[in-house]
A and B are shown apart, each in its own frame.
Chain A
Amino acid sequence: MARIEEYRHLNAFIDVFADEALTRAAELDNKKKKGLPCGKLFGVVVGIKDVICYKDHHISAGSAILKGFTSLYSATAIERLLGEDAIIIGNLNCDEFAMGSSNENSAYGNVLNALDPTRVSGGSSGGSAVAVQAGLCMVSLGSDTGGSVRQPADFCGVIGFKPGYGRISRYGLIAYASSFDQIGIFGTNIEDIALLVEIMAGPDEYDSTAARKPVPAFSQLLKDTKKFKIAYFPQSLAHPSLDPEIGMAIRDHLKMLEKEGHTVEPVDFELLDYIVPAYYILTTAEASSNLARYDGVKYGTRTKELVNNLDEFYRKSRSQGFGKEVKRRIMLGTFVLSTGYYDAYYTRAQQVRRRIKEQTDLIFKHFDIIILPTTPAPAFRFGEKSHDAVEMFLADLFTVFANLAGIPAISYPLSKHSNGMPFGIQAMTNQFEELSLLQFSNLSCHPSGTL
């Protein structure tokens, strides 16, 4: 608690559930004293992104339109953590409705990078990344629609894991783009991450998209390992946007993996430059539909101005409640779904998605792992990119791939840039191959410390 107070200026937390966390800790202590069985997460302090519902606690998705909203139920993921005796310490700041790559779009203000407060934390799960980076909780939950867990993890020097589509129930996760969204995990070592996935994963009768596949005991199988067949895309390492120091470090890492006996081979992926446009068409379309529910009637904030009719009421409430980036994406999404443009944009992007998925499947016929950079450059300074939406979008190049293909992906810390900031590397496996991804990461990633 003292540490959270000491780092309050980073703006990672929106709410700290201080009294309640202490009460729960005392209850857990009592339970132990009485010799009752203890859960797998006994006393583990977890922070949650402000898009994941926790019954009777505020949640707002970093948006003014949901200020003051209280969850009526807990997300399945949260229920499962609580069932294993975790302590939920608070909800964490993020870009509004998880839309952003720098945490500059929150109604609660920017989240500062603990290593250099003049730089961004990354986004959209910036608060979740910084909370782990600064040691304000042991692990945290984020959500990852296009890299919102992996990119801030990269910027903050911690591990960020996104399971494959369908692995963890999204019941109680505020929707941004439903064919992309997944709950992800931040941590400082692979063991913690494996344990959390294991606990949260699996079928859920409240979410029909949650896979009914059996969940392996990830945390116990981490050490059962083998030599991996690793693919990388030479175009990604030669990409004009990639910082040369990052490119160099990844090449060195690949050489090291080869030396350790893994197979490392280049693979041509010709669709690389199409993934960001396809991603933005599909996610903004889904967002424009998902965010239609915020109308100021049943919950959320509504306009205080006098209005003449219901339409004006909706338009005023929504325009006053949503921030700039959210409105921009709703508008683009409405455009790609509108009559006359639907086939040319929305359907075409779905067709491109199919081609991307098929090419990915083909790669996994021959390889276990795909390696990509996580981000083209380390954490930038506030305001540096916020003037240019397209430039900001392009920086998501390497992360959105996994969401388009629905596969699991992780970013783990790799090295430090000459500007002093850390950066990571990204590994991916085929859908439902979380186990080999965690095993591989456990081999190649060194535990990252907190501040």
Chain B
Amino acid sequence: MEVTDEMVEKLAWLSRLSFNEEEKTAIRADLQDLIAFVDKLKEIDVEGVEPLIHMSQEINVFREDVVRGSVPREEGLKNAPSVAGDFFTVPRALKK
């Protein structure tokens, strides 16, 4: 499969990453190689095979419905890069 600049742009957008021109060329070449590499799976017959999604054999793990395990507000804010009072802050999201 041919990995195009457009594809790289789209994947970068979905991944919330950005690349400069030089990085874009490199990641495009890498993706090209990696996709060619994983294309090997196309050789295998998987007709009718149920996908294996969960590795855990535990089903219906229940517990009593009691509130616990939450973090106090001060603790929750402790690692934030920017806070204002009781809130996390981010750059303006809405246009004026």
Contact = CB atoms under 8 A, between A and B. Distances in A.
Interface stretch (A33-41, A316-324, A365-373, A413-421): A316-324
Interface in A272-299: 273-274, 277-278, 280-281, 288, 292, 295-299
Interface string A47-82: 000000000000000000000111011000000000
Chain B binding surface, main DSSP class: loop
Contacts of A350: 51-53
A23 B38 CA distance: 51
Contact of A179 (B38, B55, B82): B55
B17 A315 contact: yes
B34 A390 contact: yes
Given A165-B56, A206-B69, A328-B27, A351 B50 contact: yes
Given A297-B90, A301-B81, A355 B44 contact: yes
A56 to B, nearest CB: 10
Given A299-B79, A300-B81, A332-B31, A281 B55 contact: no
Given A179-B54, A205-B63, A350-B51, A315 B71 contact: no
Interface stretch (A1-9, A187-195, A235-243, A306-314): A306-314
A271 B14 CA distance: 33
B93 interface: yes
A299 B77 CA distance: 8
A73 B78 CA distance: 13
A334 B17 CA distance: 11
Contacts of A10: none
A330 B91 contact: no
Contacts of A442: none
Contacts of B38: 277, 280-281, 336, 345, 349
Contact of A298 (B16, B30, B88): B88
Interface string B54-88: 11111001010000010100011011111000001
Nearest to B14: A334
Nearest to B52: A354
A319 B52 contact: no
Contacts of A68: 79
A332 B7 CA distance: 11
A354 B49 contact: yes
Given A209-B58, A315-B17, A330-B15, A278 B41 contact: yes
Nearest to B81: A302
Interface residues of A, number: 70
A357 interface: yes
Contacts of B42: 344, 348
Nearest to B89: A297
A348 B47 CA distance: 10
Contacts of A210: 58
B22 to A, nearest CB: 12
B50 A331 contact: no
Contacts of B11: 331, 334-335, 338
Interface string A256-271: 0000000000000001
Given A277-B40, A355-B49, A327 B90 contact: no
In order of increasing CB-CB distance, the 6 nearest A-B pairs are: A350-B51, A299-B79, A351-B46, A354-B52, A208-B61, A351-B49
Given A299-B80, A309-B92, A328-B31, 5 more contacts: A206-B69, A315-B12, A315-B16, A315-B17, A328-B34
29 contacts: A70-B79, A165-B56, A166-B57, A180-B55, A211-B57, A273-B40, A274-B41, A277-B41, A280-B38, A302-B81, A307-B91, A310-B90, A314-B16, A315-B12, A315-B16, A315-B17, A319-B17, A327-B19, A328-B31, A331-B12, A331-B17, A332-B31, A332-B34, A338-B14, A351-B51, A353-B51, A354-B49, A389-B30, A393-B37
Interface of B: 7-8, 10-12, 14-19, 27, 30-31, 33-35, 37-44, 46, 49-58, 61, 63, 69, 71, 75-76, 78-82, 88, 90-93
